[in-house]
Amino acid sequence: MTSPLTADRVKPLLRSSFGRTYRYCEVCGSTQDQLLAGDPEGTIAVCEEQSAGRGRRGRSWQSPRGRALLASILLRPPPSRAAAELTLMAAAVTAVLIEEAIEAPAGIKWPNDVLIDGKKVAGILAEQRDQALVLGIGINVNQTGGELPRSARLDPTSLRIATGREWDRAELLSGLAYEFEAAYLNWLKNGLSAVSAALAQRDVLHGRRVRVDAVIGTACGIDTNGALLVDTPAGTRSVVAGEVEIEW
């Protein structure tokens, strides 16, 4: 296991208010369940290993101990703001962070995956909790090829595989907290347009033929509400949720 994400390592690196309330445990079911209703906005929960990590649509998220960055953030956006927007905003922040780290392009696959060379390196999960929203971000950091799941929906990769070296997860977490807080405050003021350029530049579905449940056509962008736009013979459809099938 690489150096742990304990508070004494992470908190001195923080440049944001997000993460000042910091909850660490070595093993938990899911970091999504470690945040409490009374926690202040920006509280971050992390662990080294999840025994019941989950992704979108109830899928499992698997990672060997101490190799990935597994974090959840407690947020209190206005009730009128869609969780889909936050998911995409977080995907954009994560993609930019990864690009700056590895000095290579990262893509975003609607609605919640971050890719390197068409392989999944990170995923986002937003879950509503009463008056709060818990946003989970999982990044494959130091896994080798043999440590990544073989049954994943998308072929997986990690920062280590992409660059050939190990990464300090505490520094990555500090950067993520800083960039995410700034993007979140911008999103509260300006909506998804705050990251629309970043999304458009990294939208791996754009121009590809896709099927999302019963909708079949060519993906042609992401609107300001977080919906996937699909050009069909009957006109452009806005898809707010669903499973994307694509010809890579």
Q: What is the pLDDT of residue 246?
A: 85
Cα–Cα distance, 13 to 75 (Å, whole number): 21
Query: Which contacts of 160-165 are long-range, i.e. CB under 8 A and separated by 24 or more positions?
Result: 162/102, 162/104, 162/116, 162/117, 162/121, 163/102
DSSP per residue, 71-83: EEEEE---TTS-H
Q: Are 112 and 56 in contact (CB under 8 A)?
A: yes
- All domains in the chain, ordered by first residue: 7-201 (3.30.930.10), 205-246 (2.30.30.100)
pLDDT at 22: 98
Six-digit token pair at 240?
């707010």
Give pLDDT tens digits along the chain (248 positions).
579 999 999 999 999 999 999 999 999 999 999 998 899 999 999 999 998 765 555 556 567 899 999 999 999 999 888 889 999 999 999 999 999 999 999 999 999 999 999 999 999 999 998 889 999 999 999 999 989 987 667 899 999 999 999 999 999 999 999 999 999 999 999 999 999 999 999 999 999 999 998 899 999 999 999 999 999 999 999 999 888 998 65
| Contact between residue 155 and residue 16 where contact means Cβ atoms under 8 Å apart | no
pLDDT for residue 71: 97
b/e 149-180 (16+ beta carbons within 10 angstroms → b): eeebeeebbbbbbbeeeebebbebbbbbbbbb
| DSSP-derived pairing of the beta strands 132-140 and 119-129 | antiparallel
Closest to 14 measured CA to CA, from 63, 53, 71: 71
Q: What are phi and psi of 199, to 5 degrees?
A: -65, -45
Q: What is the pLDDT of residue 150?
A: 76
